[in-house]
Structure 1
Amino acid sequence: MRTGSNRVRVGLLASFTALAAVASMGSATAATTLNGSWAPFSRCPVDAPAMLAADGATDTAICVSSHSASGSIKLGNTEVPVGASDLQVGVVTHPGGLSTVVSPAEGALVADSAKVPGGLLGLMCPSDVPVITGICNTLSDVSLNRVTATIESVNSPTDFQLVAGTTTGKPILTLPVRIHLENPLLGDKCYIGSSSDPILLKPQNLTQPAISSEKFAGDGTLDATGPMNRLNLLGAAQTDTTYSVPGTNGCGLLGALNWAVNLKTGLPSASGNNNVTLDDAQTYVATMNKPRDAAPDAGKLLSQYWHSAAR
């Protein structure tokens, strides 16, 4: 239960990773096809400075990945289907239970765009304001009415709790996002939320995941005596009902349509009025079995293993 093109979408919540103290954006590895047990970690930022610097004795680097095929998200009065989402980050654990989340360059979360039900008609109409009524009267054109929503990561996740991913009812991480609304009349800079005022998603398991683990060689091949371990947390439904949603910004010329979208969709929307659900979350955590044996170069060795699995 990931920080390119920051295009991310409502599938977001198959989220699973974050930190408990300081989150840092690191240089990251682009998506790569990996062999065997490494396959879910195609965007793990193993070459980020914070990951490479993890010595294995006091600081330990791990890769976290979570995928969900579908779901839904409710923002004020509007509910949007969620498509496939991919969350990947690196996490550096520190003494005292603290950790640092390292996001890939393209952002922790990458998700498919979703079509907003009703399109622009659903977001702004009907209205008795002449200017808006005039716009609504032009929306019989399907291309003008169509609106897509894409969730984009902003900043890095925080508050990562690995144990929460193994149980139910506990937030696994805090994932800051904004939602990009795209439509010819709204323009290309229409967002719900921003980097300075993001939507803070805190997913938790609704159902208990199936838990298993496997050991593997550095190149991803299954190996009962291998130096790597993968924790599998599979099949859980995830949700969050605690987040608030800010108003829109940048919709229409000079933001002229912000108020119309806000009024119809009920934004800003306080905590308790919104919810997100992710179906069948598949979460994976890759760790070295004995990072202390690789000290002080455990982070560098993790990167070497990851690259050896590339194909």
Structure 2
Amino acid sequence: MRSVSNRTRVGLLAALTAFGAVLSTSSATAATQLNGDWAPFDRCPVDAPAMLAADGINTIATCVSSGSASGSITLGKSHVPTGNTDLQLGVIQRPDGTTSLVAPPEGALTADPAEIPGGLLGLMCPSGIPVVSGICRQLTDNNLNRVTATIEPAGAPRDFNMAAAFSTGEPILTIPVRIHLKNPFLGDKCYIGTTAEPVLLKPQNATAPTLSLQRFSADGTPNDDEGEMGRYTFDGADQSDTAFAVPGASGCGAGLLNWAVNLKTGLPSASGKNSVKLNSTTTYFGSPYDPAGLAPNEGRKLSEFWHSAKR
């Protein structure tokens, strides 16, 4: 992998590593199983037109996968642990350091929904308001009490800062998100943040990851000497953001319970009262070891290699 500098590659990886988890959209969908060192890239959009058009010199098609097994998010007075998360993207790199992102058909981000501790009882109860206290009295059924929260994209990422990817404590990019709360009483359209007024996360590296390089054959078999593919692995980095503001809830109980959710959780919540943390992320970045050697068909060869690794 020579046509784009190592510094560009490392910066891209660190940026995309940051906060893959807090952009999760839903439970992970079924993905293709791939052999060997291809395995982390099971949702890479290798057949997207922009990826296939990469020529290996002016544009290089790459696959990125980033995941974290645990973390947490605090919004106002509510603290929710997060579970397994997975971000995968295709990336078009250029020699001047600029990039374009390509999402898989089902979306770039998936995650296990997080369960809010205490459920609806913890979210709204107790309450002196009759309509809310009436709901609280019915919450002996665990299925009625259970509330899950899933963080979803609410716009395109922006404000990418390449220099921040090499350091700690500087925002790498801005990610608009919204938090989807699900419960029978809250309905299916209860959100904290909207596409018009999203939560704006600005992730930064809290700790630096360790870096290693693997080389492997087109079908995923490890091959340190002559492998057609190369994979950078960034391991062990924590990411965080403590500076974002959070708007109030909307659409909860057809809008009738917005105020109850806001009152109990302390929303809207100003910058400095909220936080996100991801623990020990692992990010993989894969592209042909010598993209220029595959010109003008680097993108098409990447797709061919990916499909050859299917189990």
TM-score (norm 1): 0.85
In the aligned structure 2, how far is the partner of 1:217 from the partner of 1:249? 50
Q: What does the per-residue CA deviation read over 1:224-252, in whole Å, with 9 as the maximum and x for residues that have no partner? A: 22222111110122211122222222210
Counterpart position of 1:135 = 135
In the aligned structure 2, how far is the partner of 1:106 from the partner of 1:243? 28
C-alpha contact (below 8 Å) 2:144/2:184 kept by paired residues: yes
* Of 95-104 and 149-158, the range deviating more from structure 2: 149-158
Within a 5 Å distance, the mapping from 1:142-181 to structure 2 comes to 142-159=142-159, 164=164, 167-181=167-181
Q: What does the per-residue CA deviation read over 1:44-69, in whole Å, with 9 as the maximum and x for residues that have no partner? A: 11111111122222111111111111
Q: What does the per-residue CA deviation read over 1:132-168, in whole Å, with 9 as the maximum and x for residues that have no partner? A: 2222222233222111112223444345567755543
Q: How many residues align structurally? A: 291
Closer, same or farther: CA 2–307 of 1 in aligned 2, 3 Å: farther
C-alpha contact (below 8 Å) 1:2/1:86 kept by paired residues: no
C-alpha contact (below 8 Å) 1:55/1:296 kept by paired residues: yes
Q: What does the per-residue CA deviation read over 1:25-55, in whole Å, with 9 as the maximum and x for residues that have no partner? A: xxxx972111111111111111111111222
Counterpart position of 1:243 = 244
Closer, same or farther: CA 90–154 of 1 in aligned 2, 3 Å: farther
In the aligned structure 2, how far is the partner of 1:42 from the partner of 1:104? 10
Counterpart position of 2:68 = 68
- Structure 1 vs Structure 2: percent identity of aligned residues? 59
In the aligned structure 1, how far is the partner of 2:163 from the partner of 2:234? 11
Closer, same or farther: CA 226–105 of 1 in aligned 2, 3 Å: same
Secondary structure, in 3 states, of the residue corresponding to 1:171?
A: coil
What stretches of structure 2 of length at least 5 have no aligned partner?
1-13, 24-28
State the Cα RMSD in Å: 2.6
**Is residue 255 of structure 2 the alignment partner of residue 255 of structure 1?**
yes
Partner amino acid for 1:240?
D
Closer, same or farther: CA 211–162 of 1 in aligned 2, 3 Å: farther
Q: CA deviation at 1:285?
A: 0.7
C-alpha contact (below 8 Å) 1:108/1:157 kept by paired residues: no
In the aligned structure 1, how far is the partner of 2:180 from the partner of 2:230? 37
Partner amino acid for 1:13?
F
**Is residue 207 of structure 2 the alignment partner of residue 234 of structure 1?**
no
Q: CA deviation at 1:112?
A: 0.5
Secondary structure, in 3 states, of the residue corresponding to 2:96?
A: helix
Closer, same or farther: CA 200–239 of 1 in aligned 2, 3 Å: same
C-alpha contact (below 8 Å) 1:229/1:287 kept by paired residues: yes
Counterpart position of 1:89 = 89
